[in-house]
């Protein structure tokens, strides 16, 4: 099953942006689990799109007013949720932020 890992943190998590993943990426590639992923630029560079009726409404910056923001994502494929939890717990960001595991819809 495929899962999206949404890597979240507060503003202090930005200090870890250049740390890399400390071998996590390489291990998950060797295990055949990692399918993709990337870090995201800061929320201040975001553009939010909403459509209301016939109008496209744009806002600069993040739409959500929260202290924690999505900073990156990984797409993994695991046998089940237990394996996804094991893989996620090894990710360095789990030590300073929050990682949400979200299963993908399958066709």
**Domain locations in the chain as residue ranges:** 2-103
The Cβ-side half-sphere exposure at 97, using a 13 Å CA radius, reads: 26
* pLDDT at position 62: 65
Q: What is the pTM of this model?
A: 0.83
Position 106 scores a pLDDT of 83
Angle at 83 between CA 77 and CA 40, to 5 degrees: 55
Could you report the per-residue pLDDT of 3-34, keeping only the tens digit for each? 999 999 877 666 666 676 778 999 999 999 99
Determine the 3-state secondary structure of 79 from DSSP. Answer: coil
- Give the domain 2-103 fold: Alpha-Beta Plaits (3.30.70)
Say if CB 87 and CB 24 are below 8 A apart. no
pLDDT, tens digit, for every residue of 29-47?
Answer: 999 999 999 988 888 888 8
Distance CA 42, CA 62 (A): 9
Whether 78 contacts 95, CB under 8 Å: no
pLDDT digits (tens, 9 = 90+) for 50-105: 999 999 999 887 666 667 788 899 999 999 999 999 999 999 999 989 999 999 99
């Amino acid at each position: 099953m495929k899962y999206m890992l949404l890597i979240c943190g507060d503003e202090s998590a930005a200090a870890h942006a250049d740390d890399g993943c400390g071998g996590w990426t390489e291990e998950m590639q060797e295990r055949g689990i990692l399918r993709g992923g990337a870090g995201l630029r800061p929320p201040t560079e975001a553009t939010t799109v909403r459509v209301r009726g016939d109008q496209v409404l744009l806002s600069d910056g993040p739409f959500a007013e929260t202290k924690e923001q999505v900073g990156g994502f990984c797409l993994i494929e695991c046998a089940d949720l237990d394996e996804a939890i094991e893989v996620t717990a090894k990710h360095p960001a789990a030590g300073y932020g929050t990682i949400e595991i979200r299963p993908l819809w399958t066709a």
